[in-house]
Amino acid sequence: MATHLVWLRNDLRITDNKALHAACSDSNAKVLAVFIASPAQWAKHDMAPRQAAFIYQNLLQVQRDLAALGIELICHQVGDFAESVTWLADFCRRQRVTSLYYNRQYEVNERLRDDLLENVLGADVARYAFDDALLLPPGSVLTGSGEMFKVYTPFRNAFIRRLATSDVGSLPAPRSRGAAIDVEKPAPFDYPSADVDAAYPAGEAAALRRLTAFCRERVADYAAKRDLPAVDGTSGLSPYLAVGVLSPRQCFNRLRIEYPDVLESVNSGAFCWLNELIWREFYRHLIVAFPLLCKHRPFIGWTDGVPWRSNEQALLAWQTGATGYPIVDAAMRQLNSTGWIHNRLRMICASFLVKDLLIDWRIGERYFMQQLLDGDLAANNGGWQWAASTGTDAAPYFRIFNPTLQGKRFDPRGEFIRRWLPELAGVPGDAVHQPYVWAQKQGERLDYPLPIVEHGRARTETLAAFEAARRLRQH
């Protein structure tokens, strides 16, 4: 009898899982599944402890779901990726595995791990790899000259044309392969413990309920509300997408059920959300075409010459939400507490670190990864390089967010700010965006810091630093 092994990685679901579906297509084969935790590698990649805890919670759920189908999921812990290859090859020999199925990961180290496995297994085990984590695989959306797009909008246009003619249907869960089995609950990962915010219950059933509710009830208002942090205007699905509890195909297909003309209705809230999904694809395609993005390198080479400052005190103020700029501080405190902030706040915080404090974007990128429940190397790197003006399709270096104006525009009444900065609860109306001005006029004392930097002066200094680096590279 053939033995098929499914290697689960960032695909912790049984529905619309290409590798699992293919492994179960032969009704006569024995099917096993394995998940290999690699805490030492996670630490090197700055995985947030709360994300590791979220993975564990979802791993328990997928183990139960597979057991109900008669499929055993074996969980094992190793140190790093090299050890995972050694253990998996030995496991294949011991279990007499004839075919191995897995869904591709696109980061450099993960691709090297899979290449190593190919060499170790040799011809003894047939291997089947699938592009499961994206709507369209890397390398399938290219310019007329066959190169990867470096600007988002033409990529999106080409992506949508190809998407309209591609089979991106969602696959069903496998059929039962026998009686339900009892399985041994895996030990918690050997990784720093952390709590997961209760707003993100584990399991694909919870993720699909959230997806359905969002597409039915809130996506129509997405374009108008997604940038307002005081409003529940985003999908909140990114943590599930990041670890594969939900697939992008499931997102797109649910969206099409509710809005069949989504690809044509470019001014709709539904298209606006689809646009965010395509940004996610863009950044994944980029790290395959330009692996240096996985290696702490800027896409625009000359920006490596920017004279970044070393200022531990300012960095700590940014990390802890004590900069004296309320929208920045509220966002950072939400990040530290929950592991999530929406995209507008990520841009504001990133811009402040890089353009107001002139601190290396890679330090901020790393800190976000250490906190984010939805940590994803491609999306996080892409967002930081956009804000830092170092990446493909980045904001021009002379575009610098004014954090006070950003707060006034996107949290005009200060509702979000007061939620996370209770020390400003008594500051009325839009005075909350410059509370020190209000306090001085009122003769009040606030338990809140003065701004650690003056934005206008910081902007001038940052422009000079970028311009000097650009001129240096030109000569």
**Residue positions annotated with a catalytic role:** 276, 279, 308, 343, 361, 384
Q: How many other C-beta atoms can be found within 10 angstroms of the C-beta atom of residue 236? A: 18
What span, in angstroms and rounded, lies between the C-alpha atoms of 164 and 103?
23
Contact 79, 50 (CB under 8 A): no
66: its two tokens = 């597979």
Terminal alpha carbon distance of the chain: 67
Pseudo-torsion of CA 171, 226, 229, 456, nearest 10°? 130
Binding residues: 222, 234-238, 273, 276-283, 374-376
Rg (CA), the chain: 24
The secondary structure element, H or E, covering residue 162 is helix 152-164
Which DSSP state fits 38? -
Please count the CA atoms within 13 angstroms of the CA of 82 that sit on its side-chain side.
0
**Which of 458, 335, 452, 344 shows the shortest CA–CA distance to 407?**
344
Binding residues for FAD: 222, 234-238, 273, 276-283, 374-376
Residue 414 φ then ψ, to 5°: 75, 20
Long-range contacts of 116-124 (CB under 8 A, 24+ apart): 116/81, 116/82, 116/85, 117/85, 117/88, 117/89, 120/85, 120/86, 120/89, 121/89, 121/92, 124/92, 124/93
Q: How many other C-beta atoms can be found within 10 angstroms of the C-beta atom of residue 353? A: 27
**Which of 356, 408, 411, 415 shows the shortest CA–CA distance to 387?**
356
170: its two tokens = 């969602």
The three-point CA angle 381-53-380 to 5° equals 5
What span, in angstroms and rounded, lies between the C-alpha atoms of 90 and 439?
67
